[in-house]
Amino acid sequence: MGEDGEPDEFEDKDQAGEHDSGESEDAGLTGPIDLSGFYAAFNPLQDYVRKQNAWIGKILAESAAVRMRPVLPRIVLDYPLIRMNAMTENLRRQMADLTGFNDMVRQALQPLGAAYRTPQWHGVFASLGDIINRLYPENLRDVTPNLDDLEKLLVDEGIPLMWVPGTQTVHALLEAPDAATRRRIIGRRWKGIVNDCEAVLEEVHHPAAQDARSFALDVVHALRAGHTSAAQALAANLLDSILQRHFDKAARIQLTKNDFKAKGIKFKLDDYKFKVACTFAPVWYAHARYFPQNGDPIPRTFGRHPSAHGVSRTQYSRINAVYALMLVTSVIKFFDTELPSRR
């Protein structure tokens, strides 16, 4: 059954446990805006900001950055290929620290607290809704995961959440108690998730993303036909090709260098703007180091390197092919929304 019903079927043989994360590490993420004295008597807004926790500060900050025209631009990528120096500079700006914008937002909202009038608060709610709609893709708008949820699923477990899977599956993943349960959810709902990916890919219209879109739809068709190994191999290599096409070497290294096992260094969401962080954290996870010549065991979770250098029944499975399809779908849709229109 699809997204709105019961799970499609069980994935009995593939129930990998949680990713071994070692010691926890402080992600250094921006804290929530301190407006407690400002809207203490207005519970709905206070509850909303509390729910969003630290992410609301980042979301509001990014909105202020757009509205008040600071030096941080929306990511700009050359068409159809990325010039090395231009891409490096744009990515550096895209990754710029947003520290200080929380103060800007607080100062912008303070006049409302000094002279409260209902129409002004309606404007605040409308603005918050506009922010959510512009930053969250449609599948996340009704669930708006908080900071802890995003870090756990995107960084610690490598589950793509941007644009796919659908809202009901995202909700189930957020409600699940642990990584093993979330993996089983993806395994059981694989047909609905494949449908979700196909629907998103059908809405990719940018000319520079059409080749990638076509190959990703080949992954969809291969999975439905039961050719899971072919689907995983194509998705893994497609991911690498997309990154090669749109990023220079320095940018690729920054987004994919996963030294967590060796150095305990995590992908830090707060080092990037919202869409970049949420799209590429699972890409980073999928690039966990794997050196067969060093005797590294083949992982059961999807990985770019073991898909290329550790072909086996351990790495190749339907559930890993679904992870790979979600990942390339998310990345393709990111470029579809972020690449400038061809003039």
**pTM for this structure?**
0.70
Long-range contacts of 137-142 (CB under 8 A, 24+ apart): 137/162, 137/163, 137/333, 138/163, 138/167, 139/163, 139/164, 139/165, 139/166, 139/167, 139/170, 139/196, 140/167, 140/170, 142/167, 142/171
Report the pLDDT value the prediction gives residue 186, as an integer from 0 to 100. Answer: 98
18 burial level (CB within 10 Å; 0-12, 13-18, 19+): middle
- pLDDT at 56 > cutoff 90: no
How do residues 264-288 score in pLDDT, each as one tens digit? Answer: 999 999 888 889 999 999 999 999 9
Q: 170 falls in which pLDDT band (50, 70, 90)? A: very high
CA distance 332 to 326: 10
Structure token digits, residue 14: 């593939």
Mean pLDDT of 155-184: 98
Q: How large a percentage of the chain has pLDDT more than 70?
A: 62
pLDDT digits (tens, 9 = 90+) for 203-232: 999 999 999 999 999 999 999 999 999 999
- Which residues touch 48 (CB under 8 Å, ≥6 apart)? 56, 128
Q: Which residues of 148-171 are buried (b: 16+ CB within 10 A; e: fewer)?
A: ebbbbbbbbbbbbbbbbbbbbbbe
Mean of pLDDT values over 21-25: 35
Name the percent of the chain in helix, strand, coil, to the closest 5. Answer: 60, 0, 40
Q: Would you call 71 exposed, middle or buried from its count of C-beta atoms within 10 A (0-12, 13-18, 19+)?
A: exposed
Q: Tell me, what's the pLDDT at 280?
A: 97
Q: What is the pLDDT of residue 261?
A: 84
Share of the chain above pLDDT 90, in %: 53
Q: How is residue 290 written in tokens?
A: 């794997």
